[in-house]
Amino acid sequence: MSTIKKILKPAIQRFYQHKAKTKLSELRNINSQNTNKIADSIYATLKNNLNHDEKKWIDKIEQKRKSLNVSKDPVLISDFGAGDANDTRTNNEMNSGVLIKKTIGEVCQTASKPYFWSLLLFKLIREFKPEISIELGTCLGISGAYQAAAMTLNGKGKLVSLEGAESLATLSVEHFRQLGLDNTSVVQGKFQDILTSVLEKNHPVDFAFIDGHHDEQATISYFEQFIPYLSDKSIIVFDDISWSNGMRQAWEKIENNKNVKIALDLRAIGICMFDKDLKNKHKFRITMY
């Protein structure tokens, strides 16, 4: 980052935070318990509000992230996703997987959700207290650890996380164990092969985080697969909705789906809320960062 950008960053962040707070008041005006909960989660994330127990858990996970970030251990990954935003992987390639060799540090630095967004997942889970949360894309387990830690503090809830690469699935199980998060299970396999059976065994789904296979059609198809298994008031968070044109198109289709009552476009991620008690659809666009 250039020196000028570094100097300006706090001022830009303050500007966006101020704008975000105005939008949060609009969200609160809808006056449903759940929109207030979303607004509270976003506000707490922006302010980095943590109580003593929350801080203890988050420090522990960030300590883990730190050690993974510097790990030079190699890891061989079968990648069933879309690759980089500029990649043009065919369906065949995504289906058979592309073999990639990296260090654990490289994987953690590039693929794990940064602190800010992981904290938002944590705060959403603290507010909504889901019984069942499903994650698509475990990787090394960082975002999963945030969700599971929030559920531990809630005193209820379990995380089922899906990961295609065998190597990463094995590592994440070990990381959850080291962190003492026994409310997690990792199911290894391609989302397209295992999602239905995972949903059959684990529903109604209260919360889901979709963070893998950033392909337009695949994202829409996973969203549609979730719908019959969702609880009456549930949340799905989509990562990287602005990552490529295809992902933008997928998001537009998802936010316009009739079952989605609140759609929040936070630029990097999208949050959909399903709430049968809300008659009208509300869409918000908030730049937070």
Ligand X SMILES: C[S@@+](CC[C@H](N)C(=O)[O-])C[C@H]1O[C@@H](n2cnc3c(N)ncnc32)[C@H](O)[C@@H]1O
Give the shortest CB-180-to-ligand X separation in angstroms: 18
Contact residues: ligand X, CB under 6 A = 79-81, 111-113, 137, 139-140, 142-143, 163-165, 168, 190-192, 211-213
Q: 260 and 238 in contact (C-beta within 8 Å)?
A: no
Task: Pick the closer one to ligand X by CB: 121 or 272.
Answer: 121
Shortest distance in whole angstroms from residue 112 CB to ligand X: 4
Least distance (Å) between residue 95 CB and ligand X: 8
Rounded Cα–Cα distance for residues 265 and 208 (Å): 16
**What's the closest the beta carbon of residue 7 comes to ligand X, in angstroms?**
29
| Cβ distance to ligand X smaller for residue 80 or 122 | 80
Closer by beta carbon to ligand X, 79 or else 127 = 79
How does strand 98-103 pair with strand 184-188?
unpaired
| Alpha-carbon dihedral 183, 188, 189, 193, rounded to 10 degrees | -40
What is the 8-class DSSP label of residue 228? G
Q: How distant is the alpha carbon of residue 223 from its chain centre?
A: 14
Encoding tokens for residue 139?
């990787």
Task: Compare residues 30 and 198 and give the one whose CB is closer to ligand X.
Answer: 198
Dihedrals phi, psi of 39, to nearest 5 degrees: -60, -40
Alpha-carbon distance values, 263 to 78, 247, 252, 260 (Å) = 33, 15, 10, 7
Which of residues 189 and 204 has its CB atom nearest to ligand X in the complex? 189
35 in Cβ contact with 284 (< 8 Å): no
Nearer to ligand X, 12 or 76 (CB): 76
Q: How far is the CB of 209 from ligand X (least distance, A)?
A: 7
Smallest gap from residue 110 Cβ to ligand X (A): 8
Residue 231: what are its φ and ψ, rounded to 5°?
A: -75, 170
Sign of CA dihedral 234, 240, 245, 246: negative
For residues 127 and 211, which CB has a smaller minimum distance to ligand X in the complex?
Answer: 211
112 neighbors 140 (Cβ within 8 angstroms): yes
In the complex, the smallest distance separating the C-beta of residue 147 from ligand X, rounded to whole angstroms, is: 9
